[in-house]
Amino acid sequence: MHSQNSDVRMARTSMYFEDFDVEQTFYSGGRTLTEGEIIAFAHMYDPQTMHIDSEWAKDGPFGGLIASGFQTLGIAWWLFLRMGLVLESMFVGVGVDHLRWTQPVRPGDTLSLTVTIRNKGEVRSGKGLITFGHELKNQNGDTVMTYTSQNLIHCRPPQK
């Protein structure tokens, strides 16, 4: 088992398939989302009123402006990559499953990610399949999004 810090930075060296253990957990640093970022993202990719119009959103179903779920997913993936766990060892992403947005993300929220190794699959051609469980929380500890991702991770290269 590898020890984890509560604020993992990009400087971490990538881990290989063999380095991961099922139920092993990793924690990211935080990322605060601004109103301007929410509106800019929504104008480009998800132009729904609740994401782009602060005045309308005050009386809307969420009582204020909220981030697009897809922006939230992008931030979670960014936090995962910032951990540095698989930056050099990931071969390819295979898929995302069980994506759930459980609470809205608002301007000023600071998001952090917990990643848990859910499963390790068969090794073929020097790569193994890992299922990562992702849980994104806000500064209050409320879960705002969960999903799993499956990624092919390189095995450790042979010693020369």
Residue 26: inside a domain, yes or no? yes
pLDDT of 97: 98
Report pLDDT digits (tens) over 58-81.
999 999 999 999 999 999 999 999
- The domain total for the chain is 1
Helix, strand, or coil here: 106? coil
Residue 37: inside a domain, yes or no? yes
User: How far apart are alpha carbons 153 and 88 in whole angstroms?
Assistant: 9
User: How far apart are alpha carbons 33 and 20 in whole angstroms?
Assistant: 30
Q: Find all residues with CB under 8 Å of 112, minimum gap 6, and list them.
A: 27, 28, 29, 30, 31, 79, 136, 137
CATH number at residue 106: 3.10.129.10
Report pLDDT digits (tens) over 95-120.
999 999 999 999 999 999 999 999 99
Better pLDDT: 88 or 143: 143
Helix, strand, or coil here: 18? helix
Mean pLDDT, the chain, whole residue set: 92
Residue 30: inside a domain, yes or no? yes
Measured from the Cβ of residue 102, the count of other Cβ atoms closer than 10 Å reads 12
8 pLDDT higher than 90: no
User: How far apart are alpha carbons 6 and 124 in whole angstroms?
Assistant: 33
Better pLDDT: 8 or 26: 26
Residue 11: inside a domain, yes or no? no
Residue 126: inside a domain, yes or no? yes
Range of the domain at 108: 17-154
pLDDT of 2: 34
Spatial CA neighbour of 61 closest among 18, 104, 109: 104
pLDDT of 158: 83
Question: Which amino acid, 146?
Answer: T
Spatial CA neighbour of 133 closest among 153, 113, 155, 152: 113
Question: What's the predicted TM-score (pTM) here?
Answer: 0.89
3 pLDDT higher than 80: no
Reported confidence tier of residue 12, pLDDT bands at 50, 70, 90: low
Residue 93: inside a domain, yes or no? yes
Residue 38: inside a domain, yes or no? yes
13 pLDDT higher than 90: no
1 pLDDT higher than 60: no
Residue 105: inside a domain, yes or no? yes
